[in-house]
């Protein structure tokens, strides 16, 4: 859709691909921003093979199915936005490996189950926005007592 991935060609550096940002002077991806691109389908497991160091923005994309990302391979991730997709299942436990995560926005998906306890162990987390899902149960106490919140939308 909209040829957003037209230049995703293995013959050129991925730093030149649409939506990919890289650190100056390096071949390390800082982020992937595919927001508002009208892409649809399922998300590839290979997305966690890239060394995204800071940003993954898949806001207003029509991905569905389970969120297949192995977040343990993205420990430097600071910003994750998957607003308005159709991801389903439990919020992935591997997010607990993203120790520098500051913003997690997963509004309006199909996540279910309880609000995960491990979210409270993410000490850098300032904004947690997970409303509009099928989450149930009580809010973990560890989330309620955090001192870092600039926003909490459940």
On the 0-12 / 13-18 / 19+ scale of CB atoms within 10 A, 5 is middle
Q: What is the pTM of this model?
A: 0.91
Three-state DSSP class for residue 95: helix
Q: Which domains does the chain have, with CATH numbers?
A: 14-153 (3.80.10.10)
Percentage of the chain beyond pLDDT 70 is 95
Q: Which of 38-52, 78-92, 113-127 has the lowest mean pLDDT?
A: 38-52
| Structure confidence at residue 89 as a pLDDT band (50, 70, 90) | very high
Minimal CA–CA distance to 68: which of 49, 53, 81?
A: 49
- The confidence score (pLDDT) of residue 27 equals 78
């Amino acid at each position: 859709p909209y040829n957003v991935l037209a230049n995703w060609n293995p013959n050129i550096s991925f730093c030149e691909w649409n939506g990919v940002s890289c650190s100056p002077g390096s071949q390390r991806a800082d982020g992937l921003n595919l927001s508002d691109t009208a892409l649809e389908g399922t998300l590839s497991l290979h997305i966690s093979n890239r060394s995204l160091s800071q940003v993954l923005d898949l806001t207003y994309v029509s991905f569905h199915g389970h969120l297949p990302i192995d977040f343990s391979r993205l420990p430097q991730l600071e910003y994750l936005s998957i607003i308005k997709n159709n991801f389903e299942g439990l919020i992935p436990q591997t997010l607990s490996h993203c120790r520098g995560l500051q913003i997690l926005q997963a509004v309006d998906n199909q996540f279910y189950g309880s609000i995960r306890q491990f979210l409270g162990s993410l000490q850098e987390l300032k904004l947690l926005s997970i409303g509009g899902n099928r989450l149930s149960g009580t809010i973990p106490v560890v989330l309620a007592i955090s001192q870092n919140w600039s926003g909490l939308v459940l």
